[in-house]
A = this chain, B = another copy of it.
Amino acid sequence: MLENKGRLEVSQMGKEELIKHLGEFFQLSNASSLSGIENDASVLKMGDQLTLTTSTLAIENVHFNLGYFPLKHLGYKTVAAAAADIVGMNGTPSQIRINIGASNRFSVEALEEFTAGVKFCCERYGIDLVGLNITSSNTGLIIGAQMIGTVKEKELVQRKGAAENELICVSGDLGAAYTGLLILNREMQVFAVNPTQQPDLEGYSYIIERQLKPEPRVDVIEDLKKAGILPTSMINVKNGLANALLHLCQQSDCGCTIYEEKLPVDLLTFDTLKELKIVATTIALNGGEDYEVLFTIKQEDYEKIKNLKEISVIGHITAASAGKNLVTNDQKLIELQAQGFQAE
């Protein structure tokens, strides 16, 4: 990605100058951002709303592999993944701080690429960059991100709050990001064996985009508001549906029953997993990095939600004593286990 550009060492520019330089790509757009990246801390004015804040840490060769992960996409995903944690509480992301640890393998141009992705996602979702630090790393690239957001006190939705007989809903489709990762890994292995062979990614665009360029479901939160639905509980699906559902049930002190036939799996995801000889339901339940929203609603809200095309009703909440179960297509009851790929 950087071959056609020159190479300026970070040490040539100096870290402080580089931070200033990269910061110049950003402008503040939220009234709550009283300061940008220029102080020790960011200054925010949240008025009568609640402040939401979350943080992520991503390490090269643990959370991402630059062999197939373009830096620009990594920047985008850094913002998107952190935003998804705010969205997963019915909130609106508004500010982000980013700490980069970079070894001398990374030039100024490389960090510009990363920053361009950050900026793209920030602009798309109206998020201000209010902190940027760069430090040395002895081990490649490390990205720490802190997202701040707001929610009206009455609209806050947490993991706790689900009650018996309520409906369990999930946005979008499941397992696509993990399936995209499997394809990228496969092509990288082919490339390792035969470097002259180009990666064959044709026909896999959707699942690869889900892996490289995920989106926080701000649209779903807005759809729910427009439909007049306030979920009773909510969580960001980042480490698999099963993991998210178990967290939600644990915090809400309840059980659940979901149905295999109701799990939303995209056709390309399904076909690709078939090609890879992997059971789609396993990945729908346990594949990470979907960044979809899992939530519960009262039964009487069903009429309001049934026509929202981005949302699937996948089951219902039960008493805690009934356990956490999946009803398979052949009507077997299987206890849900958290074996989710852990994105963090």
| Chain A residues in the interface with B (C-beta under 8 A) | 15-16, 34-35, 38-46, 50-57, 59, 61-63, 84-86, 88-89, 91, 95, 97, 99-101, 130-131, 133, 135-140, 142, 144, 146-149, 151, 153, 156, 158-160, 235-236, 251, 338, 342, 344
Q: How far is the CA of A236 from the CA of B40 in the complex (A)?
A: 7
Q: Which residues of B contact A101 (CB under 8 A)?
A: 57, 59, 62, 142
Given A62-B101, A89-B40, CB of A55 within 8 Å of CB of B55: yes
**Contact residue among B131, B136, B342 (Cβ-Cβ distance under 8 Å from A62):** B136
- Give the chain B neighbours of A138 by CB distance below 8 A: 59, 61-62, 139
Q: Are A44 and B39 in contact (CB under 8 A)?
A: no
A55 and B144 contacting across the interface, CB-CB below 8 Å = yes
- Number of copies of this chain in the oligomer? 2
Q: Is the CB of A146 within 8 A of B146?
A: yes
User: Residues of B contacting A131 with CB < 8 Å?
Assistant: 53-55
Residues A41 and B89 in contact, CB atoms below 8 Å apart: yes
Give the docked Cα–Cα distance between A260 and B133 (Å).
Answer: 30
Q: How far is the CA of A54 from the CA of B16 in the complex (A)?
A: 17
Report the bound CA distance from A138 to B41 in whole Å: 30
Cα A46 to Cα B153 in complex, Å, equals: 12
CA of A38 to CA of B252, assembled, Å: 12
The one of B40, B45, B91, B136 in contact with A88, judged by C-beta atoms closer than 8 angstroms, is: B40
